[in-house]
Each structure stands twice: as structure tokens, then as C-alpha cells.
Amino acid sequence: RYPFVIMLALPFAAIGVILILFLSGTIFTVVVYIGLIMLAGIVVNNGIVMISYINILRERGLALSEAVRMGARRRLRPILMTTFTTVFALLPMALGLGAGAEMWAPMARTVIGGLLSSFIFTLILVPTLYTILAGKKARGK
């Protein structure tokens, strides 16, 4: 159930990818697909960070709603730090600064666009879906 919740954040990352590639006039190339693979790993990692902490809180005896609320609040900082350090590190490459950056700029743009859209959905969608699925499991459905 919970891997499904984590994987549902990936389509929302695609929204940011499509938007940034459209706005920057970047076409889909092999380098963009490499960026998509990188992005998928980061987005899944952010979801795992959130879900695993919520599971730890539930094992400690917290109620579902309290564990989700506290887990989302406490994992906000690590997810934001991961997102923004990656975005800021890739910014020079995305802008085409430095030797060979023109080749790798589409990859950087892909990761940046996907991260900026997915972190919002990770912080909102993952806890919401977790609550829905865990609630159904607790009710025995």
C-alpha cells in the first residue's frame, strides 16, 4: 500500500518537468531522460523519508492523524533541504554556465522543474493518501 503512495508523487513531478521544458524551449533528448531517472530517485527518496517516519511514529503508539501530522511537520525540513540544495546545485548547469553546460542543461532543468513541483505534492499528497489508505486498512476494508 505505501509504495503506491510514494510512487503517486512521480506523476506530479512530471507536471514540473513538462512545464519547465516548455517554458525554456527544451526538447526531449537522452539527457532529459537521464534527468527523469535522477528525479525519480529523489522524489521516491523524499516519499520514503516521510512514510518511514510516519510508520515509526505509529509504531510508538501515536494515533493515525497525529502521526501523519507530526511526521509531515518533522520531515518538512529534511525534504526542503534536499530539494533546495539540489536545485541550487543544478542552477548554474541549468543556466548553461561553465564548460559543457549546454549539453547538461536540459538534465538540470528537468530535475529542477520536477523537484519544485513534486516537493509540494510530496508534502501534501503523500500524508493525505497515507491517511486514506491507513484508515481503510484499520477499518479492515
Domain that holds residue 70: 2-132
Name which of 24, 12, 23 is nearest 93 in CA terms: 24
Instruction: Please list, in sequence order, all residues whose beta carbon lies within 8 angstroms of the beta carbon of residue 112, skipping any fewer than 6 positions away.
Output: 20, 86, 87, 90, 91, 94
More confident residue, 14 or 100: 14
Within a domain: residue 114? yes
How many domains would you assign to the chain?
A: 1
Per-residue confidence band for 138, with pLDDT thresholds at 50, 70 and 90: low
Separation CA 19–CA 83 (nearest Å): 18
CATH code of the domain covering residue 58: 1.20.1640.10
pTM above 0.75, yes or no: yes
Within a domain: residue 19? yes
More confident residue, 99 or 70: 70
Say if residue 140's pLDDT is above 90: no
Within a domain: residue 140? no
pLDDT in tens, 58-85: 999 999 999 999 999 999 999 999 999 9
Tell me the one-letter amino acid at 72: A
pLDDT in tens, 15-46: 999 999 999 999 999 999 999 999 999 999 99
Say if residue 93's pLDDT is above 80: yes
Separation CA 68–CA 49 (nearest Å): 13
Within a domain: residue 139? no
Say if residue 94's pLDDT is above 80: yes
Report which DSSP code applies to 60: T
Instruction: Please list, in sequence order, all residues whose beta carbon lies within 8 angstroms of the beta carbon of residue 119, skipping any fewer than 6 positions away.
Output: 46, 79, 80, 83
CA–CA distances in Å: residue 111 to residues 45, 55, 73, 128: 14, 28, 24, 24
Within a domain: residue 128? yes
Within a domain: residue 120? yes
The per-residue pLDDT for 56 is: 95
The per-residue pLDDT for 1 is: 67
Within a domain: residue 138? no
Within a domain: residue 141? no
